[in-house]
Amino acid sequence: MSFDYEPFDFLVEAGNWAIRLGSFLLLVVVLACLLSLQKHKTAGPRLVFSWIQRFLRDLMQVSFRRVGAIAQLTFRESVRRKALWVFGIFALLFMFGSWFLDDPNNRVDLQVKNYISFVLTAITWLILPVVILLSCWGLPEDIRNRSLHTVVTKPARKTEIVIGRVVGFGTLMTILVLIMGVAGFFWIDREVAHSLNTFSETLVEGGVEKSVAMVSGDDGVTVTVTVDEAPTVTTAASRSALRQESPEVYELAERARLKALNRFLVAKRPVYGILSFKGADGRPTEKGVNTGDVWEYRTYIEGGNQWRAIWDFENVGDESGSDSWLLESSFEAFRTHKGNDISKSLLLQYSLTRVRRRVFQDATGRMISAAVVRKAGDEAFEAHVDGQTVSVQPVSVSARAVEVRDNRYVLVSDPLVVVDMTEELRVPLSSFNISEFGENVTALKSEIDFYDQESGESKKLKLEDLINDQGELRIEVACLDSGQYLGMARRDLFIKLPSNRFVVGYSKAIFTVWLMLVLVVTLGVTSSCFLKGPIAMLLTFNFLIVGQGFRQFLEKIVGGEVDGGGPLESIIRIVRQINLTDDLPDTLFYNAVATIDEFLNQGLFIVQNIIPDFRNFRVAPYVANGFDVPWSQALAPSIGVTLAYLIPCLIVGYYSLSLRELEHK
């Protein structure tokens, strides 16, 4: 689950795809011409280009009527092969899944996460074996049984056979995904409603604010309605009895129940910031305190001193006109002592600050470190560089362009350039006790009331005044309890935009699953055009496993980030028992080994660019954690990957089917 904003530009990615595909096809054509020269002399290249013209002609003359007929035939064959039996397994999982997922001691939010993860995982891994088997075995079985001859003897083109097969299997897969997706949605809704036995919500009825709390158990139902701090308690043997005995209270409780249900089944739209820290001396530091936690996902700040965790939120200027923002956090406490009251949570305070980040440039455009710059007037600056004093101009930089090194803010692009960081305005908010096992939501109004400690007066300030010229807002987090520590990661604090309904995020996740299955069907049909069923299935399954589970490891190998070198160097280190971190001797033999490994890595580079990146389809964590599926990080890349493989697979399938001996069994 990525939370960095990485825009996916279809035009840029389409250009990169066209360059890679064109380079690959050009290489194939050159190799084909060289091989044809050896076998057919000068007539060989003409034969190669005639095959290219034949493919383009077949592609331009594709008949959608014939494609539909082949797709219909493929769909019927799939149904006859008992592919729909997967619904039975799916129904069994849903009938008895709650036996293993329900935990009365678990929090509702964790239960919801388990339900959603279970549904999306079940849909994916129940349909995957079906589509792999059908797409990889369908064409080879038709060739073996000679049933494909009834198709190729008719005026059906090879492109139409490939497209028809993909459409036919894809139609069956779409029906499976739709039915399972709809059934899974209602199952999640029912299970969450069943698990929501205890809740407390605030409702407004007739201008009167009412707090409704409900506790449901084996001993009955208790509903507490509080108006103006005056509670009214209603009890009943069950919800049905409550509905008959106190219909007004039941209606109020159901409204509160629906509100609580929508709070757990939601698609939140977060805006994440860039995390940095200030140490106990008030100077910037790269990391927080290490409390000895093996899991280094979170780092900690110490309470009762100048330790601060800082989030810089970008591009928030457009949101400043809204009535209020919501800050949501989920921090973790680390206690060095229990204090007077162990049940009391840690005290936390937010501070909103407006900062100015500047570097300086001389007349040639060279970046000058702020450490050597001094003021020469009201708006004039000069720096002493290379024994000379030159005039420089300030240039604003964004938070993303700055990092912390050696307790100083420096440019990411040039760590030798120190950035001038000036705090222009600070607004401390009211402190509050955090919920250590839940979410903390703080509303930021468009106009903020705060107490100015310097003047000792209460003041008001507009939220938009705290946003700097770069459209950024800085939020500092402090722990006010001495001797205690507060743990946080970058994702633990975000600005919460208006949430979408759960069905929106869930539908996006199902759509992404469908895209992945379309890609698997395409790869399976393509591999079956030149391989027999078992080998085609093995190849498609390897594409899936490497592209999803080992893609990151493959990238590290290609990038030379794996300790121990390439395959030959690794074998030598194992045989000679050389440590992975030790340098090999600078001899002719080891240099030759490194050269061969580098050549082998180039082959892995080609493999890396051929195998699809299935990690783009991994969107279940977004929905399971209550977030909407973002367009740039998930939807757009998954659509792009699926579309990128359609044309290459069509080309490979066409030529493989054209050159394959259909009489071969």
Over the stretch 229-285, which tens digit does the pLDDT of each residue have? 788 888 888 888 888 888 888 888 888 888 888 778 888 888 888 899 999 888 999
pLDDT at 317 over 60: no
Contacts of 583 (CB under 8 A, 6+ apart): none
pLDDT at 58 over 50: yes
Place of tokens 């594409």: 543
Contacts of 443 (CB under 8 A, 6+ apart): 324, 325, 326, 327
What tokens appear for 1 in the block? 């689950």
- Name which of 309, 305, 328, 203 is nearest 256 in CA terms: 203
Alpha-carbon distance 189 to 639, whole Å?
28
- Name which of 545, 537, 657 is nearest 611 in CA terms: 545
pLDDT at 320 over 50: no
Residue type, 591: N
Alpha-carbon distance 108 to 348, whole Å?
25
pLDDT the model gives residue 504 = 92
What backbone torsions phi and psi does residue 167 show, to the nearest 5 degrees? -65, -40
553: how many CB neighbours lie within 10 A of its CB?
Answer: 12
What tokens appear for 181 in the block? 């997706």
pLDDT the model gives residue 527 = 92
Secondary structure letter of residue 9 according to DSSP: -
pLDDT the model gives residue 321 = 46
83-87, 358-362, 461-465, 646-650, range with the lowest pLDDT: 83-87
380: how many CB neighbours lie within 10 A of its CB?
Answer: 10
- Name which of 411, 427, 419 is nearest 467 in CA terms: 427
- Name which of 278, 348, 275 is nearest 312 in CA terms: 275
User: pLDDT above 90 covers what percent of the chain?
Assistant: 14
- Name which of 475, 537, 440, 518 is nearest 278 in CA terms: 475
Counting every residue written for the chain, the total comes to 665
Residue type, 447: E
Q: Is the CB of residue 312 less than 8 Å from the CB of residue 402? A: no
pLDDT the model gives residue 663 = 46
Instruction: Write down the domain spans for the chain.
Output: 62-193+500-553+619-659, 199-264, 273-488
Under the banding of pLDDT at 50, 70 and 90, the label for residue 449 is: confident
Alpha-carbon distance 448 to 319, whole Å?
16
What tokens appear for 322 in the block? 């809204």
- The H or E element spanning position 73 is helix 64-80
Mean pLDDT score of the chain: 83
User: pLDDT above 70 covers what percent of the chain?
Assistant: 91
pLDDT at 446 over 60: yes
pLDDT the model gives residue 322 = 52
What tokens appear for 226 in the block? 């509080």
What tokens appear for 25 in the block? 């096809």
What tokens appear for 345 in the block? 């949570």
- The H or E element spanning position 322 is none
Residue type, 439: E
Alpha-carbon distance 377 to 413, whole Å?
29
- DSSP strand pairing (381-385 vs 373-375): antiparallel
Under the banding of pLDDT at 50, 70 and 90, the label for residue 664 is: very low
Across the range 4-29, mean pLDDT stands at 80
Alpha-carbon distance 167 to 327, whole Å?
46
Across the range 36-63, mean pLDDT stands at 82
pLDDT the model gives residue 515 = 95
- Name which of 398, 394, 370 is nearest 473 in CA terms: 398
Q: Is the CB of residue 180 less than 8 Å from the CB of residue 172? A: no
pLDDT at 483 over 90: no
Contacts of 625 (CB under 8 A, 6+ apart): 1, 113
> What are the DSSP calls for 561-576, one per residue?
-STT-SHHHHHHHHHH
Alpha-carbon distance 383 to 360, whole Å?
9
- The H or E element spanning position 249 is helix 247-264
pLDDT the model gives residue 475 = 93
* CB-based burial, 458-484: b 16+ in 10 Å, e otherwise: eeeeebeebbbebebbbbbbbbebeeb
Alpha-carbon distance 164 to 294, whole Å?
53
pLDDT the model gives residue 147 = 65
- The H or E element spanning position 578 is none
Three-class SS state of 221: strand
pLDDT the model gives residue 198 = 77
514: how many CB neighbours lie within 10 A of its CB?
Answer: 22
Choose between 409 and 336: higher pLDDT.
409
Alpha-carbon distance 401 to 414, whole Å?
10
pLDDT at 150 over 70: no
Under the banding of pLDDT at 50, 70 and 90, the label for residue 102 is: low
pLDDT the model gives residue 498 = 82
Alpha-carbon distance 129 to 125, whole Å?
7
Residue 418 buriedness (CB in 10 A; 0-12 / 13-18 / 19+):
buried
pLDDT at 402 over 70: yes
Q: Is the CB of residue 597 less than 8 Å from the CB of residue 567? A: yes
Across the range 163-188, mean pLDDT stands at 90
Alpha-carbon distance 235 to 241, whole Å?
9
Across the range 407-429, mean pLDDT stands at 89
Residue type, 36: S
